[in-house]
Amino acid sequence: MSNHQALDRWVAQVAELCQPDEIVWCDGSEAQYQEMIGRMLATGSAVKLSEKKKPNSILVRSDPADVARVEDRTFICSEKEEDAGPTNNWADPAEMKQKLDGLFKGCMRGRTMYVVPFSMGPVGSDIAHIGVELSDSPYVVANMMIMTRVGQPVLDVLGEDGYFVPCVHSVGYPLVLTDGTTRDDIPWPCDSDNKYITHFPETREVWSYGSGYGGNALLGKKCFALRIASVMARDQGWMAEHMLILKLTSPEGAVKHIAAAFPSACGKTNLAMMTPTLPGWKVETVGDDIAWMKFKEDGCLHAINPEAGFFGVAPGTNYKTNPNAMESMKENAIFTNVGMTPDGDVWWEDIDRPAPDHLIDWLGQEWVHYDSTHKAAHPNARFTAPASQCPVIADNWEDPAGVKIDAILFGGRRSTGQPLVLESFSWEHGTFLGSTMASQKTAAAAGKVGELRFDPMAMLPFCGYHMGDYFKHWLDMGDQGGDKMPRIFYVNWFRRAQDGHFLWPGFGENARVLKWVFERCDGQAEATQTPIGHLPTPGALDLSGLDLPEEDLAELLDVDTEHWLQKVPVFRKHYAQFGAKLPGRLADQLDQLEQRLNDAT
């Protein structure tokens, strides 16, 4: 129980619907965390890893039918269908509530309902917001205790009448059936045929049924921190964005904070934890996934990372690609759907050491590396680890006041056409760049290889309302902030030469681009105006100690007007889906781009 009558009443109402055997309020303590781990070990849903290899860590294997976010089962239940927009799945809220009532009725029989009061952001911060998740999954509780701030301090801030976002989750596997018969628990309970991840923007609610995995079940993450928060941000005049936040310090000790939005597979976490190759420059992590930004008294946008942990993709993470992520998960971690070695350690594809002759794969089966027909770890296998364990976590990452954002980066995976880096002409032009952000499809994706897949501001799966209105909100924020808004840049680490090699080495060398961004914010670095934006002059990038052929640099900074003219109709088709809700100012930006390109030919 709490001192908050509305909260207590809501918990009682959900308990009456779901009929759990008991209700447990989560206090966020280490003892309670260990209790959750113990419950998972007892039901076989978790395996204890070696204390020598991975202290205080477990491995969890999910049901093979419950391994990732399910976009086709994710719904925005706005009162009007048009408010969900063309990029979301819409469902009528009244019809969905009726369906959910049927699914949730008795869904927790034989189980415990955990009440998880959590703060997205430092407790008490005026940029933070509070949610309460009700769940019947110890896995969810343990992950939420790493990913958010949980417990009594949150209830203290909530007080007797504070605002919270209600989040309800069930794995959908009651242990007592409607006819009274009982069944044993299973290692990974779920209802794989009836998954519903639903959001109600007007009432600010999240209801999730049937999945126990990741963003479907850890409702503070994508559901609250992006889909619901984006609606709150629009209504309240702030920004909830799918962005990393990094702290960049020059050799002279000057500091700037940069936020960056990239689609998947574009190096977001790697950039947030980068080890710069430039002497004297330092990158530290504020956040690797989500940024909440609000105007402060100085008229500038200040951001917090609303999360307290990392929920990262394991395969492909290693000491070359991201040593700081590897260090972050050395202890006190939850691994999901990775392989386990005979000595009680974890293993996945592209980790730093070769596969042992034998291991147990993510399906719980014997896996022999020289005779395997599938991967040892699921491609979406995850690690959950406290952000405080990151070796390059910034000293101000939990500052309740947030950090002032000096620059915003957009970026995608583009093998041709898109230069290494450019700066927008203005906030409005930067919004245009973000709204047309795209990555090329690879051979593994459906569709034509090289075809552009648009992911505006990297928010395509996460915007809780019509994306045309979301673009308008960006423009409105720029109008409010004026010349105090962050500078906007577009980066592309993935440009290739005609023979296929990457023109830019990436990883720690990306610090050279960050240095130019840093200097542009101070009005120092040189740039040349092109039809698509301000590009570095050939001598403006610090390439000292980098063996980069002149012809590669020239291609990295080249603007092929014919290429861009061919992209204009592609952009127009992309914009057409937003209909009358596309802001006229963005349509004008596209017209102006076409005019500049024609003038340059």
Average pLDDT, the chain: 95
Q: Are residues 341 and 366 in the same domain?
A: yes
Which residues constitute the domain of residue 88? 5-45+68-237
| Residue-wise pLDDT tens digits, 423-470 | 999 999 999 999 999 998 644 344 555 677 999 999 999 999 999 999
Q: Are residues 383 and 473 in the same domain?
A: no
What pLDDT is attached to residue 1?
A: 76
Domain boundary among 190, 208, 237: 237
Residue 276 belongs to a domain: yes
Domain boundary among 339, 371, 389: 389
Q: Is 153 exposed, middle or buried (0-12, 13-18, 19+ CB in 10 A)?
A: middle
Q: Are residues 374 and 468 in the same domain?
A: no
Decide if pLDDT at 16 tops 70.
Answer: yes
> Mind giving me the DSSP string for 278-300?
STT-EEEEEESS-EEEEE-TTSS
What's the number of domains the chain is made of?
Answer: 3
Residue 56 belongs to a domain: no
Residue 481 belongs to a domain: yes
Q: Are residues 226 and 318 in the same domain?
A: no
Degrees to nearest 5, angle at CA 213 with 460 and 402: 60
Determine contact, residues 380/360, Cβ cutoff 8 Å: no
Determine contact, residues 26/150, Cβ cutoff 8 Å: yes
| Residue-wise pLDDT tens digits, 140-184 | 999 999 999 999 999 999 999 999 999 999 999 999 999 999 999
Residue 190 belongs to a domain: yes
Domain boundary among 336, 361, 389: 389
Q: Are residues 22 and 166 in the same domain?
A: yes
Residue 57 belongs to a domain: no
Residue 351 belongs to a domain: yes
Tell the residue number behind the tokens 């017209």, with chain if given. Answer: 591
CATH number of the domain enclosing 224 = 3.40.449.10
| Residue-wise pLDDT tens digits, 186-223 | 999 999 999 999 999 999 999 999 999 999 999 999 99
Q: Are residues 383 and 401 in the same domain?
A: no
Task: Name the band, by pLDDT with cuts 50, 70 and 90, for residue 127.
Answer: very high
Q: Are residues 191 and 315 in the same domain?
A: no
Residue 75 belongs to a domain: yes
Calculate the alpha carbon distances from 195 to 14, 72, 165, 171 in Å: 19, 10, 21, 9
Q: Are residues 159 and 32 in the same domain?
A: yes
Tell me the two tokens of residue 386: 């406290």
What pLDDT is attached to residue 195?
A: 97
CATH number of the domain enclosing 379 = 2.170.8.10
Q: How far apart are CA 265 and CA 537, in angstroms?
A: 29
Query: Which residues are the active-site residues?
Result: 266
Percent of the chain scored above 90 by pLDDT?
93
Q: Are residues 271 and 356 in the same domain?
A: no
Q: Are residues 167 and 280 in the same domain?
A: no
Residue 61 belongs to a domain: no
Section 71-93 average pLDDT: 97
Q: Are residues 245 and 205 in the same domain?
A: no
Determine contact, residues 260/492, Cβ cutoff 8 Å: no
Q: Are residues 349 and 413 in the same domain?
A: no
What pLDDT is attached to residue 231?
A: 98
What pLDDT is attached to residue 141?
A: 98
Q: How far apart are CA 151 and CA 473, in angstroms?
A: 34
Calculate the alpha carbon distances from 185 to 25, 43, 193 in Å: 22, 7, 18
Q: How far apart are CA 513 and CA 596, in angstroms?
A: 25
CATH number of the domain enclosing 493 = 3.90.228.20
